[in-house]
Amino acid sequence: MSTDRTRRRVLLIRHGQTEWSLSDQHTGRTDIDLTAKGEQDAAALKGITERIGLHQPFVFASPRRRAQRTAELAGLTVDETNELFAEWDYGDYEGLTRVQIQADHDPTWAIWTHGAPGGESVADMTRRVDAAVDRVESQLGASDVVVVSHGHFSRSFICRFLRWPISQGADIDLRPAGSALLAEAGGDRRLSELRGPVGEWAKPTSI
């Protein structure tokens, strides 16, 4: 464990590319595998905790196999698998792209403001992510933390950790196999680093 607990850090890792993330389909409950590129990008994360100076961090992960496989390929041993860290439940919009949803249902729709009918509302997601933040904070007194999860979940977590409304996740771009480093020191919290997949610039996302 880190000997300096005055500076506490959380590393968020988004799972590697899947066929649905490649096509911008909303993937919540669907348990889908990584693509070959997703596996390659996840494997390139190996050693990331050492590179940023995390010592024996506690690792949380979503139960979805795309997150579990990313952790495995990145050389991380998952200490706790928890549904709190699962992706947003998209309900009726599972498997659809934002373009399809706006064309067929509501031209103004965005997950950050409208939530998902039949799934989690913005309020639902805020409550769940707040519980995930609480769970991570309960561990931070003993060690730094890694969370291997999903795109919308991770962007939501960043917002709630920083005490922002969840809707500001729309302004954060976290690509498959990308990572975000959060830090807290002296009561101050900040987003210290946001990276795309190893060796790639972050690319714009439509969702």
CB 140 within 8 A of CB 96: no
CA–CA separation, 84 and 47 (whole Å)? 25
4 is an annotated ligand-binding site residue: no
Buried b (16+ CB within 10 A) or exposed e, 53-64: ebeebbbbbbeb
CA–CA separation, 64 and 82 (whole Å)? 10
135 is an annotated ligand-binding site residue: no
66 is an annotated ligand-binding site residue: yes
Question: Catalytic residues, which ones?
Answer: 15, 87
Angle, CA of 207, 169 and 204, to the nearest 5°: 40
CB 129 within 8 A of CB 153: yes
137 is an annotated ligand-binding site residue: no
93 is an annotated ligand-binding site residue: no
Query: What residue numbers does the annotated binding site for substrate cover?
Result: 27-28, 66, 87-90
